[in-house]
Structures are given as structure tokens and as C-alpha cells.
Structure 1
Amino acid sequence: MRSLALLLLLPTAVSLYYAMSAAPLAGAAAIPVPTAPRSRRSSFIVPMKRRRGTTMLHTKNASAVFDPTHAKEELQMILVKYQNASKILKNLLPLPPQDGVAEHPLIGATPIASAPLATAQDAPLVIPPILVASGTATMPLTDMVLDGLDVLYYGPLQIGTPPQTITVDVDTGSADLWVPARCATCMNKQFDPSASTTYADAGKQFAVSYGTGAVTGVLAQDVVAVQGLAVQKQAFGAVTSESDDFDGYPNSGLLGLAFSSIASSGAPTFFENLIEEEQLAAPIFSVFLARGEETGSEVCFGCMNPVKTLGDISWIPVISKTYWSIALDSVSVNSTMAPSTNVVAAIDTGTTLIYLPEQLATELYDMIPCGRQAAEIGPEFFTYCCDIDFSVSLSFGGEPFALNMSDFNMGPAADDSSSCVGGILALGQGFPSNLAIIGDEFLKSWYSIFDYANGARVGFAPSVNNR
């Protein structure tokens, strides 16, 4: 089935931004401000699907006993995914510039150590409109839950000439694009290079590791498109071998949307090429993640969708153009706060849960009634009393952002147990002591906007999931 998106037809949409001053955001009104026109401006919404598992629940069953399988697998995955984070946070890797996108999206670098940790109000608000070109439509979205968790979001990408549609996991925590091609071990739909008249082998090897799994192949080039937004010579990994860890996943590949400074390929990302070629209405993409709903999840390239939000956007400056990394000020339980010191939070749509430095996670659960480390499950896990009401918030840019407690509650620790497992886990050995990873558990409550301009920043607006 196909459905029409809400269309906002604006006479001068191609050349407008909606701007606000740097004054506090609450209650302020948007003011249209003209900008210089740029060629081929348009924006498209990409619907996404969820992974199909052997168990699919439309709503989370809080009474179901917690199964640690996925969380433990994810811990292994992020250990490899963030294996270079320690070097990045210590400024041992070269970082891209912190300049705007006027000349190039990656010009003018500032390492983490010297970047100012500005507040959310310090960043001026810029809201680009939804732009819709003639003949553009959205595609249907499917939201599936695996074992009570919103595990994976993926959507369609077109590759080659004529275009072949391949589904990809949309991941702001990595920067490579890869799809299976001529892969004997791959179970899902593959890209066929021989059927594309524009395919080119770059003559280099390609390899990416994910926890206990890995994909290998060759670096290639071809037309890559999201509906009408197309990059003619996009670099990607044409995967010829993948480990059996990927069996049972419905998506074929992965679309990385972090900064290309951390790409294994060393090439600009699909989104960065769209910016460089001036195909976008604005150098942003935004993400809405549904909670237990079969329809509604989307990523919008070049735009944001105000229909998916309930309030104003709070902007937080990016402090390293590597991951989409912002400063985590503190964590709070009710009105009690545990401040963090120089903690860098990576905003990661490709991760399900929330992970904090071990010391900060311990301080958080110390503030929760009956909170304790659950060594019987694993050193990264904590439990708390199921029948106690409380709230948990993360603070970015001086503003608190609350979690939905149904996302935080991962279920009873055991049959007839009065203790529930918390959805915030500890990052221990192998991880930097100042790294936090903020996954879908948080993003389901906060519509997220990723902006390459204004020095690069992340915006959060209350999601319609919060109704």
C-alpha cells in the first residue's frame, strides 16, 4: 500500500528557512527568513521498517520476564562499533572542521577537548520547512517489535541503473554504506552489480566488524538514491561475505549517517554528498521513531516533519564531527541530579538502549528505590523495585529530557520477582570512561534533527509519541 504524506505547499519553500533568535525557545514564534536560492532543492521522507523476529509484539508487555539475549548481543556490537571512540575522545585521530556547510560540510575542525560546551539556548533555532516536489510520495512504514523491544529501523534505498531497491538499517552511529552483492552467505535480497550500467569497482577491499559479526567485500561506486535525491557516484561496500550473525535480519544492508571522518571506506557519506551537490533544501535530516506502532517511523532528508512533534526544538552543539556527539550534563531521578563530568554522548539510531559510563550509571541507580547492580544477569545491568513510581531524565545543553518509563522498564528480572531490569546499562571495561551512547529508548520520546550547518548540532523536540 502507498499513502500520501502531509504536504505543506509553500510558494517560496525552496529558498526559505524558518528562523528564531537565540532567546529562550519556549513560546517563541517562527519567522520566515529568505536565503539565497540554490539549485535542485528538494526534500523527501524515507519510511522505515522494523526487524521481524520470531516473537513480535505490538506493545511492550511489562509483565514478561526480561530476556537479556538482545541486550548482551548489542553490548558486543557497540564494543566493536565504538572501538575507536577512546582515540577520538583523546584527540588521537584527525577530526574534521567545525565550520558551517556554506563552503563544504567538513571544513574547519575543532577537537573535543577545546570545543565549548554551550547551552541549548546558545544555538539559534533554524527550522526548515517540509518541501515536496511534484510527484513525490511517502512509502508505507512498518513498525515491528522483537521480544518486546523496538530493535531495528530500516528503509528502502535505490542503487544502480536501473535502480534496484535494497533495504538498509538507518544508523547515525556509523558512517559507511554497504549492501550485499554476489554474496553466497547472505540470506536477504542482494544488489546485482551486473544488472547496473553505472556500477564501478573501486579496486579496494572493504570490511566492517559488528560485535561478533563482520562483513567483507569490495569498495564500489554507483548511483544511490532515496526517491528523487540521487548521488551519481556514491562509494559503498559491495559485501561478498557476511557472518551468520546477520541471518534472520530483514534488512539487507546499512546506511551510515554519522560523519565520514569515522567511515571505514574513507569516503563521504550519502548525506554529505547530497549537501555538497546542493540537492537539499537544508543540510539536515530528521528522524521519528514510532513506539510499538506498525506505521509512522521515518527519516526526512533535507527537512523536518512538524506533524511528528509536540513542541519547540532545543538545539545542542555537536562537539566532534565524528559521531553525532553532544555533551551530557547530568542524569536525574525525580528532582535528584547526578552531574556528569566531560561525558560525550553519541546519538545513535542504530542502538536500541541507553549506555552510560559505569560510574554515572551506578550513581543513577543509587538514586532509584531499590536500585542495585544485577551481577546475576551481567555487570552492565541494574534492577530496581517494579512497584515504585519515579522519573528519569538526561540533561543536554542545560535542559532535561525525560524518558518514557515504559521504555526504561525492560521487565521483571525473573518469574515472580519484584525487581525490574532498567533500560540504562553501564559501559565498563573496553569503553572510554567519558562515553555515553543514547539509543532508540531515548529517541522514541524525542524527535531528532541532525544539522550540518551552524557548526553542526542536534535538535530535540517532544515526539508525538508523548501524547
Structure 2
Amino acid sequence: MLAFGFGFIVLSAAASPLQNSGQFRAGSFVKKINRSFRQGSPVANKTEALRIFDPTYANQELRGILVKYEQASQFLRGIGLSPALDIPSYYLSSNASNAVIGVAVNDDTIPSPINPNASIPPVYKTVSTAIQPLKDEMSGTLDVLYYGPIEIGTPAQTLTVDVDTGSADLWVPVNCPNCDNRVFDVTSSSTYTSSRSKFKVTYGEGQVSGTISTDVIAIGSLAVAAQSFGAVSYESDDFNDAPNDGLIGMAFGSIAQSKKPTFFENLIEAEKVAAPLFSVHLTRNQASGSEVCFGCYDATKTIGPIIWVPVKSKTYWSVPMDGISVSSAGSVQMNIVAAIDTGTTLIYVPDSIAAEFYAIIPGAKTATQYGPEFYTYPCSSKLAISFSFSGQSFSLNLFDFNLGRTAADSPDCVGGILSMGSGFPSDLAIIGDEFLKSWYSTYDYSNGARVGFSPSVNNQ
């Protein structure tokens, strides 16, 4: 997904409380998951020989990533941050409401996701969950962009946004004469308020600008009455070919350019969601089926329990990354931070780590014809690649790692782990959709903040 890239709401009747990571041993579970992973997909079996790598998109995303994360180094050191959200005590008590899918709120036997062993029944306030379906914009076999609808204004107007856990600003086009996508008509909303505060975000070679405004923003039954957002009056031409209209940032509001809380943080502050977490399911080569579960965890999208990894910095959804392994060939050890980013398609690591990683793979080499960030490896390689976050191992599907052959008759394929190049923090990796298609991810503001990974139904 481009760094600047961009659902209808339904409620499922399935009820599934979150489980505490202490209920199972992560180590033995990871081994079981790895065996169940299909290193390839039905798509791969039919098109693998025909997939030819086109560097255009990867180079475009690479430029965008460098700009998107240009402040990462200072953010991760605590510089230039807005105040962090304080979780309401309501979510921290043993009577916390349940994070389940659907309308099973009449069942007082469902345990709390925060304290699943609590014997006291949950307390039900005016809380809810909502599932936002996402569309998958594809380019060949590459899943480029996941986006879905939000409602804005009174009466509500529907626009589409990219759900991006790598940024924290919400923006939509408003009074934008050069915008080709749908535009929010502020004159038709009785609740719209504009300010004089300027808003500008730069993404690689493109940018959007306007003013900070407020209005009602809703996803399903979840609504914020006065949500701040960027009312964009100018978009560079880069955005006109995108299928989405705007973007909703789901990282911590501490890094928002607007200096305002995110949509989801305002829902937490108002105690409107069943639990202070959201979950994301991304499909592989399917136009529909992806979703964001606000305040909930959709067990129908997983084939195993959740493994929690602590967040290192309440800026990005950043987790400790300590290794990458390749089959039995070896591993690269490290002590860096990985940003889990639904708004990025590929995987990016510092120069030195990329060089060490590909040195483990027999026959791998730099692909200078595309740029210093790229590497190739023999297409016939039978690789089992895993990432280690906080000492726990998570597999990468080989179909997603393989970006295609360098030519129709070439034995070499381009790897989906790219080097970040000079000028990028040497202690930061960006983990995008290439990885997240194998793992249903949950982003929890409680428990000190943590990210949960459950094996996705994509892998069964």
C-alpha cells in the first residue's frame, strides 16, 4: 500500500472473547502454526511462472516510506509528541465490558477480554462494536491498498478511507477543485465546523493540505460527535488515481500532525467501544473479505489463539524485533523496533540487516538494476522465513515474499524484504501487509499497549 494510500458496517452474531496470552505457551504454539502454513496459495500455483517483477510501485512506496517515517527517530525518543491517551478506569476494572462480535450483549456469561478469568459478570454500558469491511485494490497478484467507508456529517455522507496503523491523522477532501474522488460537501452538513488551523501532510512525492475541522464521524453504530479531521482543499495529482477518498490514521494520537486524538481514541475516551482495541483482517488476492473490527476481535478470521507482543513506544504500533530466520540456514539477530503498518504493502529493514538476511540465502544477490534497496534470490528456493518479535516467532508466507521473476526466463525472483537505504533510522523496520496477510492483528491500548497476532484463515 502506498504510504499515502487509502468499510459498510455489519455485526456478526458470532461471540468470541479475547484470550489472555498467559493461557497458552507461545513457543509450542508457534511450531504448530508454522507447520500449518501453506507456503504459496492457489493463485501462486497458477501464476508463479508468469509473475514478472515491476519495480514502479515498490520504488514509489519506498519514496513514500522515507517521508512518512522521517520523524520516526525523534518520535521513538519521545520528542515532539502530543499527550498520550489515558485509558478510562472503566476498561481496567474486573467489570470491563466484553469485546465480542455482534449483539451477544444479553449473555452475561461472556468473560471480559481484559480479565477473562473474572467471575463477576461484565457491566454493559452504552458500548458497541462495529465491523468495517475493506476492499482490496490489487495490481496483478500484489495487494496494494485496503480501504473502506466512513460516514461524515449531518445528514451522513459516505466516503472511503485507507485504514493506516502507521499514521494518526484523519483527512478527507473538502472544497477541493482538483480532487477527482468524492468530496465531502460541507454546505450540506449542519454539524460541520471549520477552524483557521492549517493542516498539511506530505507523502513521498505527494501532499495534501487544508484546515483542521470537526464534524460527526461514524463507522457503523460507533460515532464521535466532534471529531477533528483534515479538511483537505488541495491534493497533489498522486491521489487522483487512488480508489479511496481519504485516510484514517490508527496509530497513537501522540504522533498526529493535527495534534488531535484519533477517531478510535475518542471512542475509548467516551467509553463507547466494548474494549479499547481494534483488529484487522487482510485478505490475499481477494477484492472483498478484509475488515477492521472496532472494539472487537473476530475469531472467524483466525485459526488459532492470539500471541501478544508488548508495544515499545506509544507512537506507532511498534514492537521489539530481535531476529529474522531463514529455514535451517541461519538467522540475523538484532535489537530494533518494528512498526506494524497496515498502510504499507511491503517490508522494509535497515541496510545492514537486509544485507545479512540475504547473505543467508544461497544464490541471493543485490539487484542494482532496480535500485540499491532490492535483492533477488533463486526462485526455486524452498524458504521458511520467520520474524521474531519480543522472542516469539511469526512466519512469512513465501507467496507474499516473492515479488516476481526478473524476466520470464529468469531463475531469479525479487524478495519482498527491502533495504531502507541511507537517511533512515538504523533501528527501525516497517512491517507491512506482506506479513499481515498471514496474521490477524489486534491493537490493544490496555495492558500497557500491545499488539496481538493470531494465525489468519488465509493460511488454512
TM-score bracket for the superposition, by shorter chain length: 0.7 to 0.9
Change in CA separation of 1:260 and 1:314 when aligned onto 2, cut-off 3 Å: same
Instruction: Please name the residue that 1:317 is paired with.
Output: 310
Residue aligned with 2:143, SS = coil
Instruction: Please name the residue that 2:35 is paired with.
Output: none
C-alpha contact (below 8 Å) 1:158/1:164 kept by paired residues = yes
C-alpha contact (below 8 Å) 2:81/2:255 kept by paired residues = no
1:21: Cα distance to partner? 3.5
Residue aligned with 2:418, SS = strand
Which amino acid letter does the alignment assign opposite residue 350 of structure 1?
A: G
1:133: Cα distance to partner? 7.5
Residue aligned with 1:379, SS = coil
Change in CA separation of 1:104 and 1:256 when aligned onto 2, cut-off 3 Å: farther
Change in CA separation of 1:4 and 1:267 when aligned onto 2, cut-off 3 Å: closer
Change in CA separation of 1:321 and 1:385 when aligned onto 2, cut-off 3 Å: same
Once residues 328 and 87 of structure 2 are traced to their aligned partners in structure 1, the CA distance between those partners, rounded to angstroms, is 39
Once residues 404 and 127 of structure 1 are traced to their aligned partners in structure 2, the CA distance between those partners, rounded to angstroms, is 32
Change in CA separation of 1:241 and 1:392 when aligned onto 2, cut-off 3 Å: same
C-alpha contact (below 8 Å) 1:95/1:320 kept by paired residues = no
Instruction: Please name the residue that 2:12 is paired with.
Output: 6
1:138: Cα distance to partner? 5.9
Once residues 139 and 91 of structure 1 are traced to their aligned partners in structure 2, the CA distance between those partners, rounded to angstroms, is 32
Which amino acid letter does the alignment assign opposite residue 102 of structure 1?
A: P
Once residues 310 and 257 of structure 1 are traced to their aligned partners in structure 2, the CA distance between those partners, rounded to angstroms, is 25
Residue aligned with 2:408, SS = coil
1:293: Cα distance to partner? 1.4
The question of 1:233 aligning with 2:239 is answered no
Once residues 448 and 8 of structure 2 are traced to their aligned partners in structure 1, the CA distance between those partners, rounded to angstroms, is 37
Residue aligned with 2:65, SS = helix
1:203: Cα distance to partner? 1.5
Instruction: Please name the residue that 2:120 is paired with.
Output: none
Instruction: Please name the residue that 1:429 is paired with.
Output: 422
Once residues 84 and 150 of structure 1 are traced to their aligned partners in structure 2, the CA distance between those partners, rounded to angstroms, is 27
Change in CA separation of 1:349 and 1:137 when aligned onto 2, cut-off 3 Å: closer
Change in CA separation of 1:305 and 1:220 when aligned onto 2, cut-off 3 Å: same
Residue aligned with 2:325, SS = strand
Q: Deviations over 1:340-362 (max 9, x none)?
A: 43211000000000001111111
C-alpha contact (below 8 Å) 2:82/2:253 kept by paired residues = no
Which amino acid letter does the alignment assign opposite residue 54 of structure 2?
A: D
C-alpha contact (below 8 Å) 2:132/2:148 kept by paired residues = no
The question of 1:69 aligning with 2:56 is answered yes
Which amino acid letter does the alignment assign opposite residue 222 of structure 2?
A: L
Q: Deviations over 1:51-77 (max 9, x none)?
A: xxxxxxx94633221000000000011
Change in CA separation of 1:80 and 1:243 when aligned onto 2, cut-off 3 Å: same
RMSD over aligned Cα atoms: 2.6
Which segments of 5 or more consecutive residues in structure 2 lack a partner in the other structure? 1-6, 30-41, 92-96, 106-127
Q: Deviations over 1:311-367 (max 9, x none)?
A: 111100001000000011100000344344321100000000000111111111111
Which amino acid letter does the alignment assign opposite residue 84 of structure 1?
A: Q
Change in CA separation of 1:94 and 1:182 when aligned onto 2, cut-off 3 Å: closer
Instruction: Please name the residue that 2:25 is paired with.
Output: 24
Instruction: Please name the residue that 1:400 is paired with.
Output: 393
1:88: Cα distance to partner? 2.3
The one of 247, 251, 265 aligned to 2:244: 251
Change in CA separation of 1:432 and 1:454 when aligned onto 2, cut-off 3 Å: same
Q: Following superposition of structure 1 onto structure 2, how do residues 299-318 of structure 1 map, counting pairs within 5 Å? A: 299-318=292-311
Instruction: Please name the residue that 1:108 is paired with.
Output: none
Once residues 143 and 252 of structure 1 are traced to their aligned partners in structure 2, the CA distance between those partners, rounded to angstroms, is 14
C-alpha contact (below 8 Å) 1:285/1:301 kept by paired residues = yes
Once residues 360 and 174 of structure 1 are traced to their aligned partners in structure 2, the CA distance between those partners, rounded to angstroms, is 24
Instruction: Please name the residue that 2:205 is paired with.
Output: 212
The question of 1:352 aligning with 2:345 is answered yes
Instruction: Please name the residue that 1:42 is paired with.
Output: none
Q: Following superposition of structure 1 onto structure 2, how do residues 176-195 of structure 1 map, counting pairs within 5 Å? A: 176-195=169-188
Once residues 436 and 93 of structure 1 are traced to their aligned partners in structure 2, the CA distance between those partners, rounded to angstroms, is 21
Residue aligned with 1:361, SS = helix
C-alpha contact (below 8 Å) 2:306/2:452 kept by paired residues = yes
1:96: Cα distance to partner? 5.0
Change in CA separation of 1:188 and 1:59 when aligned onto 2, cut-off 3 Å: farther
Q: Deviations over 1:111-140 (max 9, x none)?
A: xxxxxxxxxxxxxxx993224389998676
Change in CA separation of 1:234 and 1:373 when aligned onto 2, cut-off 3 Å: same
Change in CA separation of 1:64 and 1:267 when aligned onto 2, cut-off 3 Å: same
Which amino acid letter does the alignment assign opposite residue 53 of structure 2?
A: F
Instruction: Please name the residue that 1:111 is paired with.
Output: none
The question of 1:197 aligning with 2:181 is answered no
The one of 287, 291, 294 aligned to 1:294: 287
The question of 1:89 aligning with 2:89 is answered no
Which amino acid letter does the alignment assign opposite residue 129 of structure 1?
A: V
Q: Following superposition of structure 1 onto structure 2, how do residues 336-375 of structure 1 map, counting pairs within 5 Å? A: 336-375=329-368
The one of 402, 406, 411 aligned to 2:404: 411
1:295: Cα distance to partner? 2.2
Residue aligned with 1:453, SS = coil
1:102: Cα distance to partner? 3.2
1:101: Cα distance to partner? 1.7
Which segments of 5 or more consecutive residues in structure 1 lack a partner in the other structure? 11-15, 29-57, 106-125
Which amino acid letter does the alignment assign opposite residue 247 of structure 1?
A: N
Instruction: Please name the residue that 1:269 is paired with.
Output: 262
Once residues 353 and 338 of structure 2 are traced to their aligned partners in structure 1, the CA distance between those partners, rounded to angstroms, is 12
Change in CA separation of 1:133 and 1:279 when aligned onto 2, cut-off 3 Å: farther
The question of 1:129 aligning with 2:107 is answered no
Once residues 179 and 4 of structure 1 are traced to their aligned partners in structure 2, the CA distance between those partners, rounded to angstroms, is 23
Farther off after superposition, 233-242 or 87-96: 87-96
Instruction: Please name the residue that 1:102 is paired with.
Output: 88
Aligned residues between the structures: 412
Residue aligned with 1:152, SS = strand
Residue aligned with 1:307, SS = helix
C-alpha contact (below 8 Å) 1:330/1:337 kept by paired residues = no
The question of 1:282 aligning with 2:269 is answered no
C-alpha contact (below 8 Å) 1:324/1:346 kept by paired residues = yes
C-alpha contact (below 8 Å) 1:143/1:293 kept by paired residues = yes
Instruction: Please name the residue that 1:458 is paired with.
Output: 451
